[in-house]
Amino acid sequence: MKKRKAVFLDRDGTIVVHVPYLSSPNQLKLLPNASHGIRLFKEHGYLIIVITNQSGIARGFFDEKRLTLIHRKLTGMLENEGVVIDDLYYCPHHTEGIIEHYKVDCDCRKPKPGMILDAARKYHIDLTQSLMIGDSETDMLAGKNAGCRCVLIKNDCSSASTDMVIRIDYVVKDLLEAARIFTQ
C-alpha cells in the first residue's frame, strides 16, 4: 500500500489567532489565508492533521467536553470555507497540571512526536514526505523528532524567533505561503 503524505498543523497561532488557553468556541478566529492554504494542500493530495497541545485541560481551565465543542466549531468554520480536515489530535496533559488524571509526563505533548507518530501509523503516512507547520519552536522540534520537514509561521501573533536551537527548513508568513512552496 502506497504511503500518504501529510501536513501536520499546529492550531493556535497557525490556523486560528492565538488566544492563551482558548476556552470558548466564540474565541475562535481563523487567521488570514489559513483556509486557503489548507485547501491548496488538500488539492495536492496531502492529508491535513491538526496536532495541538491543550494543557488547559490538565490545568483545570476547561474540560475535554468543552474542547470537543471548540473543535466542532473549528471544523465547521473550516468547512464553511470549503476545507475538511482529516483528523485532529490533542494532548490534554501537563506535568504541572492540577487535575490528577492528566498530570502525567506523556508521550504526546509537543515537542514529543507522539501525536504525529500515532497519526502516521493510523493513516500510513510517509513522514519524510510530510510537513509539520507551526508557530513555535515546540512545533518545529516535534516535527523534527518525527522525521518531518518543518515550516515556521511568523505572524503578528507568533512569538517565535527564528534563531532556534534547531534548523528550520522554511519560514513563511501564513499557511498560503507554505502551501505555495509545496504545491507548485
Active site residues: 10, 12
What is the three-class DSSP state of 19?
coil
The answer to whether residue 137 forms part of the interface with Mg ion (CB under 5 A) is no
DSSP string covering 149-176: EEEEE--TT----S--SS--SEEESSHH
Kindly determine how many residues on this chain lie close enough to bind Mg ion according to the rule CB under 5 A: 5
Residue 56 lies near Mg ion (rule: CB under 5 A)? no
Q: Which segment (16-24, 31-39, 55-63, 109-117) binds Zn ion by CB under 5 A?
A: 109-117
β 149-153/6-9 pair status: unpaired
Q: Is 99 an interacting residue with respect to Zn ion (CB under 5 A)?
A: no
| Sheet strands side by side (includes 47-53) | 87-91, 47-53, 6-9, 131-134, 149-153, 170-172
* Closest to Zn ion by CB, 110 or 144: 110
Query: Which CB atom, from 42 or from 71, has the smaller least distance to Zn ion?
Result: 71
The residue nearest Mg ion at its CB is 13
Residue type, 95: T
Q: Check: CB of residue 28 under 8 Å from CB of residue 167.
A: no
Is 39 a residue that touches Zn ion (CB under 5 A)?
Answer: no
Residue 12 engages Mg ion in binding (rule: CB under 5 A): yes
Q: Which of 34, 51, 125, 135 binds Mg ion (CB under 5 A)?
A: 135
How is residue 174 written as a grid cell?
Answer: 501564513
| Cα separation, 37 vs 44, whole angstroms | 11
**Residue 137-166 contact track with Zn ion, rule CB under 5 A, x = bound:** ------------------------------
- What is the contact surface with Mg ion in residues (CB under 5 A)? 10, 12-13, 135-136
- What is the contact surface with Zn ion in residues (CB under 5 A)? 91, 93, 106, 108-109
